[in-house]
Chains A and B, each alone.
Chain A
Amino acid sequence: MPPESTLRPLVRLSRVSPYLTVAGVVLAGGLLFVAAMGVRLILAPRAPTAMKLTTYECGVDPVGEGWAQTNVRYFLYAFLYVVFAVDAVYLFPWATVIRSPDLGLASLVEMAIFILVVLIGLAHAARRGLLRWV
């Protein structure tokens, strides 16, 4: 087994702050976007005629407005989305503090209240018959 001193890397990855990692990922994503749009700017053909910028409606002149009305009963999809998905997002940071000695118990009580409130909404949805398989 070679000695430790010859294997020590310049920067130990475990010592890099997680915030720096996230910043690196965000920067890489932004650079990718800038590179792609930059390549498009210097390489792509463009011919912005008036006809090309018209609204698309299957080749005919568009009629009416861009807004359309939907039935209000579809609010139930938004309701169930809040109950399941938005609630799950708030549960993820709880997992990082539940084992800590000073925050663990307090966070349990707070999250219990939060989940209770969300459960009341879920019970209402179940009473309305929204959770039955169609």
Chain B
Amino acid sequence: MPGIGVLNDDAPRPIKVVLNWGRRYSLWVFNFGLACCAIEFIAASMARHDFIRLGVIPFAPGPRQADLMVVSGTVSDKMAAAIRRLYDQMPEPKYVISFGSCANSGGPYWDSYCVTKGVDTLIPVDVYVPGCPPRPEALLQGIIRLQEKIASETLSNKSIRAKYAGSRRAGAGEVTRPLLTQPQATQSK
């Protein structure tokens, strides 16, 4: 049953302020570098535009150790299933920054046959950073905007249950309603 710890719902405001402060200044980013925007992301993590000084530690080893996912680059339809599954494998609370115009809405490839038109068709996005590619300073501004958003958020039982209500629990490759016609068993195991 999705939810939040018993104390967090009734916590007094100062404790929520402290928890939000801890959460927003210790983001560990799982970089989903797909295309040219990944180079700008790497530039933002290096010495000149360093985002470690904002508390964002780069290059989490996997989705299970991350709480921020930056989708940077063009999302092809083949990659969409992997993105959905990796987002599902991240533990709560998790945030997504959509970086670059391809991840925002398909970008210059809005008319292509195999580009997902925006990563927000797959996963809930918190901050959109426009640009083709955005400057590293734009990513820094996006991270600061996300930190302001986390500062003003309230995690509650209701919000988490709404996020995972009903069919939203389905991941990549899962269906929660019965198939219309059963697939034929063409080969024996």
Contact = CB atoms under 8 A, between A and B. Distances in A.
Contacts, number: 76
Interface in A15-57: 40-52, 54, 56
B93 A45 contact: yes
Most buried by B among A40, A44, A47: A47
Contacts of B5: 40-46
B160 A45 contact: yes
A64 to B, nearest CB: 17
B164 A47 contact: yes
Given A50-B171, A51-B171, A56-B62, A45 B82 contact: no
A58 interface: yes
A51 B174 contact: yes
B2 A48 contact: yes
A40 B7 CA distance: 10
Interface stretch (B83-91, B99-107, B178-186): B83-91
B62 to A, nearest CB: 6
Interface residues of A, number: 19
Contacts of B93: 45
B3 interface: yes
B3 A46 contact: yes
Interface of A: 40-52, 54, 56, 58-61
A60 B78 CA distance: 11
22 contacts: A40-B5, A42-B5, A42-B6, A42-B7, A43-B5, A44-B5, A45-B93, A46-B92, A47-B2, A49-B88, A49-B164, A50-B174, A51-B89, A51-B169, A51-B171, A52-B90, A56-B63, A56-B64, A58-B82, A59-B86, A60-B81, A60-B85
> In this complex, which of A46, A48, A54, A61 has the most chain B Cβ atoms within 10 angstroms of its Cβ?
A46
Nearest to B7: A42
Nearest to B163: A47
